[in-house]
């Protein structure tokens, strides 16, 4: 019974701990007559807690611009949360003044820094079928090779206008088009050159494939998370460019992708 309860507690702890680490409390001791530490770098949202111990002499914590202050007392605990990126200078009004040298006098500094979220990292688990729900007739097959740091993309789409009524195809329909793209990636972004394969017939070695790069054509894919990316295409020789927000057709590999992100 006891074991079960400790396990429940452990699960609770593990589930709640990641939330708790985002905002920290930093302690500063109010000494005679200095702050320890007197120079502190914290993240936005963190709290600083100044403690003047019971046996202390009268001190206070006062912003150099006088926008906030603790009581002046022989014993206090004063906490303040900092929600904006800024540098704060403070002092004790009993033993110093604004702008005093903190290494010689009772002055301190807090540097509040922005919390930078780590960038999304492209990984193998993004390999999938991607599409834009408003244009379901086309889609993208994307493959990521992490070891080679390459992304391949096949865009199954259509011509820019419908073929004439009298144009026919044996297999499929004459409006079908597919483009391929290949290129390196870094962080959340893959930048690929666009290729056009042509000249072949169905399941045959002859005539041989003629694969050509579209001159200057690029496709860039930027992922924002494990199920959202923006495909930006630019085919300058045809005057075609645009952005397509895409998502996966199924979500089976989202968990593996999320596991590959930095924590
Ligand atoms: Cu003081």
Domain boundaries, the chain: 21-113, 124-259
- Give the C-alpha separation, 98 to 61, whole Å: 11
Distance 65 CA to ligand 1 centre (A): 17
Task: Report the CATH architecture of 21-113.
Answer: Sandwich (2.60)
Q: Residue 196's CB: how many other CB atoms inside 10 A? A: 15
pLDDT in tens, 23-79: 899 999 999 999 999 999 999 999 999 999 987 789 999 999 999 999 999 999 999
Distance 94 CA to ligand 1 centre (A): 5
Q: What is the largest CA-CA distance in the chain?
A: 98
pLDDT in tens, 198-230: 999 999 999 999 999 999 999 999 999 999 999
3-state secondary structure of 3: helix
pTM over 0.75: no
- Give the C-alpha separation, 257 to 124, whole Å: 8
3-state secondary structure of 74: coil
Place of tokens 């992100």: 261
Distance 61 CA to ligand 1 centre (A): 8
């Amino acid at each position: 019974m006891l074991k079960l309860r400790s396990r429940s507690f452990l699960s609770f702890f593990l589930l709640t701990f990641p939330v708790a680490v985002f905002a920290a409390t930093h302690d500063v001791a109010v000494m005679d007559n200095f702050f320890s530490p007197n120079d502190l770098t914290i993240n936005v949202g963190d709290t600083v807690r100044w403690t003047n111990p019971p046996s202390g002499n009268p001190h206070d914590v006062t912003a150099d611009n006088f926008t906030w202050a603790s009581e002046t007392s022989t014993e206090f605990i004063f906490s303040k949360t900092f929600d904006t990126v800024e540098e704060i200078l403070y002092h004790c009004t009993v033993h110093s003044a604004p702008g005093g040298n903190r290494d010689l006098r009772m002055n301190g500094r807090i540097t509040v820094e922005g919390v930078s979220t780590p960038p999304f990292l492209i990984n193998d688990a993004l390999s999938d079928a991607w599409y834009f729900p408003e244009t379901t007739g086309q889609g993208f097959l994307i493959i990521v090779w992490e070891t080679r740091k390459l992304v391949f993309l096949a865009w199954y789409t259509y011509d820019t206008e419908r073929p004439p009524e009298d144009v026919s195809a044996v297999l499929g329909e004459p409006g079908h088009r597919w483009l391929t793209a290949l290129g390196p990636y870094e962080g959340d972004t893959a930048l690929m050159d666009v290729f056009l394969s042509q000249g072949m017939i169905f399941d045959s070695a002859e005539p041989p494939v003629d694969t050509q790069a579209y001159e200057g054509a690029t496709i860039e894919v930027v992922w924002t998370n494990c199920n959202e990316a923006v495909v930006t295409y630019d085919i300058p020789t045809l005057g075609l460019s645009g952005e397509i927000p895409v998502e996966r057709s199924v979500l089976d590999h989202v968990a593996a992708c999320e596991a590959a992100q930095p924590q």
